[in-house]
Chains A and B, each alone.
Chain A
Amino acid sequence: MWKKDEPEKVSPEPRPASPPPPGSRMDESRKPASPVEQAAIGRSIRIQGDVTGDEDLLIQGTIDGSVTLEAHALTVGPDGDVRADIRARVVTVQGRVKGNLNAEEQVILQASSRVQGDISAPRVVLEDGARFRGEIDMGDPDEGLSVRSEDGADEKGGPESSGPSKTSRAGVLAEGETASTATKRAPGDSGTASVKDRIPAKTGS
């Protein structure tokens, strides 16, 4: 309606070694003191084989094989199509993945994601609208499991600490709270679970 004559601005393809845009989810999940190096695999790129690296990676293309970034973050962008097992520190999916996801810290399935495979991570975020088929394994509860409530407070879970009887999605019910009221979710609220002892403070979301 306004400025019809102005040519439409097209976002450039993400370039290697550029930090994520301010305010992006990746930026939120990782806030280092120095700029983060991030490589990118563009939309027209197809890779058959194993991808390994020592920097963050954004995948917008197609990969068939495996992806291993032990200490770094991997993002499968909205156009990304990955048929591979993935291993990274943090895995964020906006596109399609068929394969198992193994993250040292966190897996985030965003609303546009479509994932088929098993997830192994101490902390998993499943956003409303994400499509997922498989198993989510959040590790051994004997290693000091706590569930992070949405207000950010950590509460201990597990049989020893659950109090007399009632638990809620945040682990323990407040006095006088019913199970149903405690488990009511706010609109747009996504499921998040964490194992406190494994998560560095900087990754809180």
Chain B
Amino acid sequence: MSWLSLLRGEAPPGPAPSPIGEAGGPREVEGAAPGAGLFFSSCLGRSDLAVLDLGPSSAMSFGIYRTMARRIRFADLFSDWGEEGWAEALRTVPRDPSRAVDRILAWDTLDRLSPEGRHRLIRILSQVAAPDARLHMVIRGSREAAPGALRFQLAGTDRMVYELGDKGAGGGLGPPLLPAELHTLLLPFQVENAFTLRGDLREYVAVWRGGD
């Protein structure tokens, strides 16, 4: 493990992760999510945050967000709501700075977009993010990590449950996203921490540095 990885807070490499949904493999995984732990530790003592979860609504996740936020949005980008596309779900997110978003959760989102879609999503997120907003992401470590869409829920502030779901609208996978490529893609969000999760997934915590 390089010193640079240590500086970035990346976890040391563990045993070879097994893909989710592989024949004979698990369809649902629960495991530690140290990035989520760091992400939510930045919310301690807060009850006035605005949270944007790009995934489907979840009672488990809502139970955690509500302790720290007064505004919680589930964008449910890839479910079939009869809309024209995922970006439609973000159309109603206010661009007003007084209603900016403090915490963004993007689990299994960038993987499912085309390269153009990824840039478009980050552009939208940077427009709705508050200064010092934090972004928590989970991205596949490889193309083989999971054959379809993944559904994530929080099982605690530092644990996640993820299961293989139906493909759904926009359920296809884009080209693999390499770590170096991700750092560039996310600007003006800057990656502060990265971890490897069970099931060959990578977890990132980034901070909005648009005001620098």
Contacts and interface: CB of A to CB of B under 8 A. Distances in A.
A189 B60 CA distance: 8
B70 A179 contact: no
Contact of A165 (B44, B56, B67, B75): B44
Contact of B67 (A126, A140, A171): A171
Contact of A191 (B43, B63, B155): B63
A171 B59 CA distance: 17
Interface residues of B, number: 37
Nearest to A128: B59
A132 B25 CA distance: 30
Interface stretch (B45-53, B119-127, B138-146): B45-53
Contacts of B159: 180
Contacts of B163: none
Contacts of B57: 126, 130-133
A59 interface: no
B64 interface: yes
A13 B48 CA distance: 44
A134 B79 contact: no
A184 B156 contact: yes
Given A133-B79, A133-B89, A185-B60, A138 B66 contact: yes
Contact of A167 (B44, B75, B89): B44
Interface of B: 37, 40-41, 43-48, 56-60, 62-64, 66-68, 70-76, 79, 81, 89, 92, 154-159
Given A137-B71, A183-B156, A185-B155, 20 more contacts: A135-B72, A136-B71, A138-B70, A138-B71, A140-B70, A145-B47, A147-B47, A157-B47, A162-B45, A167-B43, A167-B44, A169-B67, A179-B41, A180-B37, A180-B156, A183-B154, A183-B157, A185-B59, A189-B59, A191-B66
